[in-house]
Chains A and B, each alone.
Chain A
Amino acid sequence: MQARDVGLTQTEYAAICRLMGREPNELELGLFGALWSEHCSYKNSRALLKRLPHEGPYVVAGPGGNAGVVRVSDDWEVAFKIESHNHPSYVEPVQGAATGVGGILRDIIAMGAQPIAVADLLRFGTDSQSVRLRQGVVKGIGQYGNAIGIPTVTGDVAYSETYAQNPLVNVLAVGLRRPEHAMTANTARPGHLLVLVGQRTGRDGIHGASLLASQDFQGSEHDTLRPTVQVGDPFLGKLLMDMTLTAVERGWVAALQDLGAAGLTSAVAELCDSSGVGANLWLDRVPLRQRQLSSYDIMLSETQERMLMAVEPERWPDVRALADHYEILATVIGEVTEGEMIQIWWDSTVQGTVSAHWLVRGCPRRDVSEEWWRALRHRPTEAPPVITTIPSLRALVLDVLAHPDVRDRSFIYQQYDSTIQTRTVWGPDHDVAVLRLHDTRVGLVLSVFGTGQWASLDPYAGAAAAVVLAASRLAALGAEPLGLTDGINAGNPDKEESFRQMASAVAGVQDAAEALRIPVTGGNVSLHNETDGQPIWPTVMIGALGRLDDATKPVPDCVGAQGHTLYLVNPGPLHWGGSVAERVVEGASPYPLGDLGHHQRALEAMTQFVRRGLAQAVRAIGRGGLATALARMLLGAPPSLGMAILLSESTESEKLLRLFNEGPAQWVVAVAPEVVDDAVGYWQAVGIELRYLGEVTQSGRLEVDERVHWTRAELLTAWRQPG
Chain B
Amino acid sequence: MNIAVVTFPGSNCDDDTVRALHALGASVIRLWYRDRDLGGIDGVILPGGFSYGDYLRGGALAAQAPVMEPLRHAVRERALPVLGICNGFQILTEAKLLPGALRPNRQGTFLSTWQHLRVTRASSLFWGLREGEYLRLPIAHGEGAYYLPPGQLASLFDRGQAWLQYVSFDGQLTAAANPNGSVANLAGVIAGSVAALMPHPERAMDAALGSADGVRLLTAWLEGIRRRSRDASS
Partner of B110, one of A146, A149, A423: A146
Contact pattern, A 550-592, Cβ under 8 Å of B = 1, otherwise 0: 0011000000000000000000000000000000000000000
**Cross-chain contact B54 with A436 (CB below 8 angstroms):** no
B234 adjacent to chain A (CB < 8 Å): no
**Cross-chain contact B202 with A422 (CB below 8 angstroms):** yes
Chain A residue at smallest Cβ distance from B214: A422
Chain B residue at smallest Cβ distance from A436: B208
Chain B residue at smallest Cβ distance from A146: B110
Chain A residue at smallest Cβ distance from B53: A235
Within the complex, what minimum Cβ distance (angstroms) separates B80 from chain A? 26
In the complex, which residues of chain A have a beta carbon less than 8 angstroms from the beta carbon of B200?
Answer: 419
Task: Enumerate chain A interface residues (CB-CB to B < 8 A).
Answer: 139, 142, 146-149, 233-236, 238-239, 325-327, 413-425, 436, 438, 552-553
Task: Enumerate chain B interface residues (CB-CB to A < 8 A).
Answer: 9-10, 12-13, 15-16, 19-20, 32, 49-50, 52-55, 109-113, 138, 140, 142, 200, 202-203, 205-206, 208-210
**Cross-chain contact A414 with B49 (CB below 8 angstroms):** no
Closest 5 CB pairs of A and B: A149-B12, A235-B53, A552-B208, A147-B50, A417-B140
Bound-state CA distance A419–B9 (Å) is: 21
Bound-state CA distance A434–B205 (Å) is: 17
Partner of A147, one of B53, B203, B209: B53
**Cross-chain contact A149 with B49 (CB below 8 angstroms):** yes
**Cross-chain contact A419 with B140 (CB below 8 angstroms):** yes
In the complex, which residues of chain B have a beta carbon less than 8 angstroms from the beta carbon of A413?
Answer: 112
**Cross-chain contact A139 with B109 (CB below 8 angstroms):** yes
**Cross-chain contact B53 with A233 (CB below 8 angstroms):** yes
In the complex, which residues of chain A have a beta carbon less than 8 angstroms from the beta carbon of B208?
Answer: 425, 436, 552-553
Query: In the complex, which of the residues B13, B50, B110, B203 has the most CB atoms of chain A within 10 Å of its own CB atom?
Result: B110
In the complex, which residues of chain B have a beta carbon less than 8 angstroms from the beta carbon of A236?
Answer: 53
Partner of A419, one of B15, B109, B142, B209: B209
Bound-state CA distance A415–B109 (Å) is: 6
In the complex, which residues of chain A have a beta carbon less than 8 angstroms from the beta carbon of B9?
Answer: 235, 238-239, 326-327
Bound-state CA distance A552–B207 (Å) is: 9
**Cross-chain contact B13 with A420 (CB below 8 angstroms):** yes
Partner of B209, one of A146, A148, A239, A422: A422
**Cross-chain contact B111 with A420 (CB below 8 angstroms):** no
Within the complex, what minimum Cβ distance (angstroms) separates B221 from chain A? 18
In the complex, which residues of chain A have a beta carbon less than 8 angstroms from the beta carbon of B113?
Answer: 414
8 A–B contacts, CB within 8 A, in A order:
A146-B112, A239-B9, A325-B32, A413-B112, A417-B112, A419-B138, A422-B209, A552-B208
**Cross-chain contact A422 with B203 (CB below 8 angstroms):** yes
Given A327-B9, A425-B208, 4 more pairs with CB closer than 8 A = A415-B110, A416-B110, A420-B203, A422-B20
Bound-state CA distance A233–B9 (Å) is: 13
Bound-state CA distance A422–B16 (Å) is: 7
In the complex, which residues of chain B have a beta carbon less than 8 angstroms from the beta carbon of A417?
Answer: 110, 112, 140
Chief secondary structure at chain B's binding surface: mixed
In the complex, which residues of chain A have a beta carbon less than 8 angstroms from the beta carbon of B140?
Answer: 146, 417-420
Query: In the complex, which of the residues B53, B112, B200, B205 has the most CB atoms of chain A within 10 Å of its own CB atom?
Result: B112
**Cross-chain contact A422 with B53 (CB below 8 angstroms):** no
Bound-state CA distance A436–B15 (Å) is: 16
Chain B residue at smallest Cβ distance from A142: B110
Beyond A419-B209, A420-B12, A436-B208, is A235–B50 a contact (Cβ under 8 Å)? yes
**Cross-chain contact A234 with B50 (CB below 8 angstroms):** yes
Bound-state CA distance A148–B12 (Å) is: 7
In the complex, which residues of chain A have a beta carbon less than 8 angstroms from the beta carbon of B15?
Answer: 421
Chain B residue at smallest Cβ distance from A150: B12
Bound-state CA distance A234–B205 (Å) is: 27
In the complex, which residues of chain A have a beta carbon less than 8 angstroms from the beta carbon of B203?
Answer: 419-420, 422
Query: In the complex, which of the residues B12, B15, B16 has the most CB atoms of chain A within 10 Å of its own CB atom?
Result: B12
**Cross-chain contact B209 with A238 (CB below 8 angstroms):** no
Chain B residue at smallest Cβ distance from A443: B208
Bound-state CA distance A416–B8 (Å) is: 22
**Cross-chain contact B112 with A414 (CB below 8 angstroms):** yes
In the complex, which residues of chain B have a beta carbon less than 8 angstroms from the beta carbon of A416?
Answer: 110, 112
Bound-state CA distance A142–B110 (Å) is: 8
In the complex, which residues of chain A have a beta carbon less than 8 angstroms from the beta carbon of B49?
Answer: 149
Query: In the complex, which of the residues B15, B202, B208 has the most CB atoms of chain A within 10 Å of its own CB atom?
Result: B208
Bound-state CA distance A418–B9 (Å) is: 21
In the complex, which residues of chain A have a beta carbon less than 8 angstroms from the beta carbon of B111?
Answer: 414-415
Partner of B13, one of A149, A234, A423, A553: A149
Beyond A146-B50, A235-B52, A327-B9, is A422–B205 a contact (Cβ under 8 Å)? yes
In the complex, which residues of chain B have a beta carbon less than 8 angstroms from the beta carbon of A420?
Answer: 12-13, 16, 140, 203
In the complex, which residues of chain B have a beta carbon less than 8 angstroms from the beta carbon of A326?
Answer: 9
**Cross-chain contact A235 with B110 (CB below 8 angstroms):** no
In the complex, which residues of chain B have a beta carbon less than 8 angstroms from the beta carbon of A325?
Answer: 32
Within the complex, what minimum Cβ distance (angstroms) separates A56 from chain B? 29
Bound-state CA distance A90–B33 (Å) is: 39
**Cross-chain contact A146 with B142 (CB below 8 angstroms):** yes
Within the complex, what minimum Cβ distance (angstroms) separates B24 from chain A? 14
Chain B residue at smallest Cβ distance from A434: B208
In the complex, which residues of chain B have a beta carbon less than 8 angstroms from the beta carbon of A419?
Answer: 112, 138, 140, 200, 203, 209-210
Chain A residue at smallest Cβ distance from B109: A415
**Cross-chain contact B209 with A424 (CB below 8 angstroms):** yes
**Cross-chain contact B19 with A235 (CB below 8 angstroms):** no
In the complex, which residues of chain A have a beta carbon less than 8 angstroms from the beta carbon of B20?
Answer: 422
Beyond A146-B142, A419-B203, A421-B16, is A235–B209 a contact (Cβ under 8 Å)? no
In the complex, which residues of chain B have a beta carbon less than 8 angstroms from the beta carbon of A415?
Answer: 109-112
Within the complex, what minimum Cβ distance (angstroms) separates A26 from chain B? 37
Bound-state CA distance A424–B203 (Å) is: 10
Within the complex, what minimum Cβ distance (angstroms) separates B100 from chain A? 23
**Cross-chain contact B19 with A438 (CB below 8 angstroms):** yes
